[in-house]
Chains A and B, each alone.
Chain A
Amino acid sequence: RKEVEQDPGPFNVPEGATVAFNCTYSNSASQSFFWYRQDCRKEPKLLMSVYSSGNEDGRFTAQLNRASQYISLLIRDSKLSDSATYLCVVRGGVNTGFQKLVFGTGTRLLVSP
Chain B
Amino acid sequence: DVKVTQSSRYLVKRTGEKVFLECVQDMDHENMFWYRQDPGLGLRLIYFSYDVKMKEKGDIPEGYSVSREKKERFSLILESASTNQTSMYLCASSLARVYEQYFGPGTRLTVT
Contact = CB atoms under 8 A, between A and B. Distances in A.
Given A103-B43, A106-B42, A42 B100 contact: no
Contacts of B40: 8, 105
A42 B100 CA distance: 17
29 contacts: A8-B40, A32-B99, A34-B99, A42-B105, A42-B106, A43-B90, A43-B103, A43-B104, A43-B105, A44-B90, A44-B103, A87-B42, A87-B43, A91-B99, A97-B56, A98-B48, A99-B31, A99-B99, A100-B45, A101-B45, A101-B99, A101-B101, A103-B35, A103-B42, A103-B43, A104-B42, A105-B40, A105-B41, A105-B42
B50 interface: yes
B61 interface: no
A99 B42 contact: no
Contacts of B31: 99
A66 interface: no
Question: Size band of the B side of the interface?
Answer: 20 to 34
Interface in A66-103: 87, 91, 97-101, 103
B94 interface: yes
Interface of A: 8, 32, 34, 42-46, 49, 87, 91, 97-101, 103-106
Contacts of B43: 44, 87, 103
Which 7 pairs between the two chains have the least Cβ-Cβ distance?
A43-B103, A105-B42, A103-B43, A103-B42, A46-B100, A32-B99, A44-B103
A100 B42 contact: no
Interface of B: 31, 35, 40-43, 45, 48, 50, 56, 58, 90, 94, 97, 99-101, 103-106
Nearest to A45: B103
Nearest to B31: A99
Contacts of B97: 99
Contacts of A87: 42-43
